[in-house]
Amino acid sequence: MRKLLIGMAAFALGATSANAVGSCTLTLTTSGKLTMSGDGMSISSLNTGGLSAVMAVVSLNLTPQLIFSPLSIVGPTGWAGSPITYQSLKTLSGTNIPFTNTGFSVNVSPVADTLTIDARVVNTSGFKAGSYNASTTITCQAA
């Protein structure tokens, strides 16, 4: 698993081989960045100054199924509250998964596809100053 930290947060992405016959390569091309909402109750890649994570998927001899773990968040020591995490996905091939607070799986285009991943974290107690790391693990297997 590779973790990159840019600004307030980043997405961590993991990749695995699908099987002995086919292969699937996941490459993080752009790290995500979460920024604070105007009311201070959420951080998101879609807020002003935020940045979506972008990942390339290249497969050989298989139709890739990607399995996303639920989004998790780590904040600074002493950060209070009960954050609710959400992630969404759009693919160049046309798949659209709206924000969800659970894990999910999706089949993507064989050979190559591009994923845009967004994150949002809501906490009614707000956010303490410091760094936050939002992460999801993505596993690739044959569909």
pLDDT value at residue 18: 41
- Domain hosting residue 98, numbered range: 2-142
pLDDT value at residue 20: 55
pLDDT of 44 over the 50 cut: yes
The tally of domains found in the chain comes to 1
| DSSP H or E stretch at residue 68 | strand 64-68
| pLDDT tens per residue, range 69-112 | 999 999 999 898 799 999 999 999 999 999 999 999 999 999 99
How do beta strands 96-100 and 53-60 pair? Answer: unpaired
Any idea what the Cα angle at residue 52 is, between residues 48 and 73, rounded to 5°? Answer: 90
pTM: 0.83
Domain CATH code at residue 113: 2.60.40
| pLDDT tens per residue, range 105-135 | 999 999 999 999 999 999 999 999 999 999 9
| pLDDT tens per residue, range 4-29 | 333 333 444 444 444 457 899 999 99
